[in-house]
């Protein structure tokens, strides 16, 4: 593809040779002649003089200069994402049902859907238009999948789960397992039944090996456009608002409500029955033990307002020094007495 065509596609400005032919995309460290790459962070600027790429996408605000051809755009990362969609076309399986699948007679599957080998689809299930089940997917009784969903190998979707349109679930995830609930009784621990379901709204994406438990009653709900990373656990009756981001190894306990546009960084734990407001940001490895108001940024264990938490941490790191100074003062006072 000619660099002129790429520039038009990305609304970019060429600085250099406008007749270059681009044949691929690559990281700046690995790029070869014919490749296009990008720089979005200053730490990668050191590769500018070393890369073999034929063209480098940089920000219009950048002061970088090079003998190589540059493509100036508003946001190099966004531009590169758009370009990746042009150069790398993901090929999904064609429509049709594998003869090696096991499908209930009363399941309703759109003729444009694709069902891979060794999938199991139970009673009263529905698959919408262009939805793809890769091999070894299990769909439990009464579960419904909308249009244009992609369910990767080894996903388990239990009974009475509602998945809306354009949802992506990566390998090994389990949607709709029983919640973790027991009570003590004279006969020992009694398991609390979980009779509800799970709802994944439009454009949700679930990473690999994540788990979303079904509700006791009602539904565990993941709001539209929310993105969940790998190895995340979401317990029964949790409700997450739209357009939120939950990063790897987060655990959210039962019946907690999380607002829209929330970012929860990796390895954070949130206890049950809390209310996390809209536009909240929670730093990595935080332990959240109380509700959080709209717009707050918190961090730490136990999590609290970000600046206060950082100040406490800095003081904690200085404790050995403070302790030594205190001992010297005590000795000085003892000598003066």
Per-position DSSP letters for 13-54, written without gaps between them: EEES-TTPBP-EE--TTT--TTEEEE--SGGGGGGTTT---S
Cα gap 181→189, rounded to integer Å: 10
- With H, G, I as helix, E, B as strand and everything else as coil, classify residue 313: helix
- Helix, strand, coil fractions of the chain, as percent rounded to 5: 15, 30, 55
Beta bridge partners of 161: 198
Query: Tens digit of pLDDT for each residue in 30-88?
Result: 999 999 999 988 888 888 888 999 999 999 988 887 888 999 999 999 999 999 888 88
Query: Tens digit of pLDDT for each residue in 12-31?
Result: 999 989 999 999 999 999 99
Cα gap 226→286, rounded to integer Å: 20
Distances (CA, A) of 116 to 91, 123, 246: 14, 18, 29
Query: Tens digit of pLDDT for each residue in 261-309?
Result: 999 999 999 999 999 999 999 999 999 999 999 999 998 876 767 677 7
Reply yes or no on whether the pLDDT at 212 is more than 80. Answer: yes
CATH topology of domain 3-87: 3.40.1390
Catalytic residue among 233, 236, 273, 306: 236
- 185 or 300, greater pLDDT: 185
Question: What is the CATH architecture of 96-309?
Answer: 3 Solenoid (2.160)
Cα 337 off chain centre by: 64
Residue for token pair 């429509």: 95
Cα gap 226→87, rounded to integer Å: 27
208: Cβ–Cβ under 8 A, 6 or more apart, which residues? 152, 170, 171, 172, 173, 230, 231
The pLDDT of 256-262, averaged and rounded, is 98
**pLDDT above 70: percentage of residues in the chain:** 99
170 is catalytic: no
Average pLDDT, the chain: 93
Query: Tens digit of pLDDT for each residue in 232-246?
Result: 999 999 999 999 999
pLDDT for position 88: 80
* Dihedral sign, Cα of residue 293, residue 299, residue 302, residue 307: negative
């Amino acid at each position: 593809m000619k660099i002129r065509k790429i520039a038009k596609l990305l609304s970019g400005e060429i600085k250099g040779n406008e007749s270059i032919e681009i044949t691929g995309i690559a990281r700046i460290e690995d790029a070869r002649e014919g490749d296009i790459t990008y720089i979005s962070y200053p730490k990668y600027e050191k590769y500018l003089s070393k890369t073999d790429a034929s063209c480098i996408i940089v920000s219009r605000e950048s002061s970088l200069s090079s003998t190589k051809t540059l493509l100036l755009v508003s946001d190099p990362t966004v531009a590169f994402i758009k370009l990746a969609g042009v150069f790398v076309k993901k090929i999904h399986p064609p429509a049709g049902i594998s003869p090696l699948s096991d499908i209930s007679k009363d399941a309703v599957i759109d003729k444009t859907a694709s069902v891979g080998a060794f999938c199991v689809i139970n009673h009263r299930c529905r698959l919408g238009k262009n939805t793809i089940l890769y091999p070894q997917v299990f769909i439990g009784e009464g579960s419904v999948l909308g249009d244009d969903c992609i369910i990767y190998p080894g996903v388990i979707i239990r009974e009475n789960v509602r998945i809306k349109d354009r949802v992506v679930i990566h390998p090994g995830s389990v949607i709709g397992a029983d919640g973790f609930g027991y009570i003590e009784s004279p006969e020992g621990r009694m398991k609390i039944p979980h009779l509800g379901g799970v709802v994944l709204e439009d454009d949700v994406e679930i990473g690999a090996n994540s788990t979303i438990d079904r509700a006791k009653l009602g539904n565990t709900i993941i709001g539209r456009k929310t993105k969940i990373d790998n190895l995340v656990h979401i317990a029964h009756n949790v409700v997450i608002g739209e357009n939120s981001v939950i990063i790897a190894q987060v655990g959210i306990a039962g019946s907690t409500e999380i607002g829209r546009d929330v970012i929860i960084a990796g390895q954070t734990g949130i206890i049950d029955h809390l209310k996390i407001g809209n536009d909240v940001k929670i730093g990595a490895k935080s332990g959240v033990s109380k509700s959080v108001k709209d717009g707050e940024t918190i961090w730490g264990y136990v999590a609290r307002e970000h600046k206060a938490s950082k100040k406490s941490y800095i003081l904690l790191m200085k404790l050995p020094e403070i302790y030594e100074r205190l001992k010297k003062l005590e000795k000085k006072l003892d000598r003066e007495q």
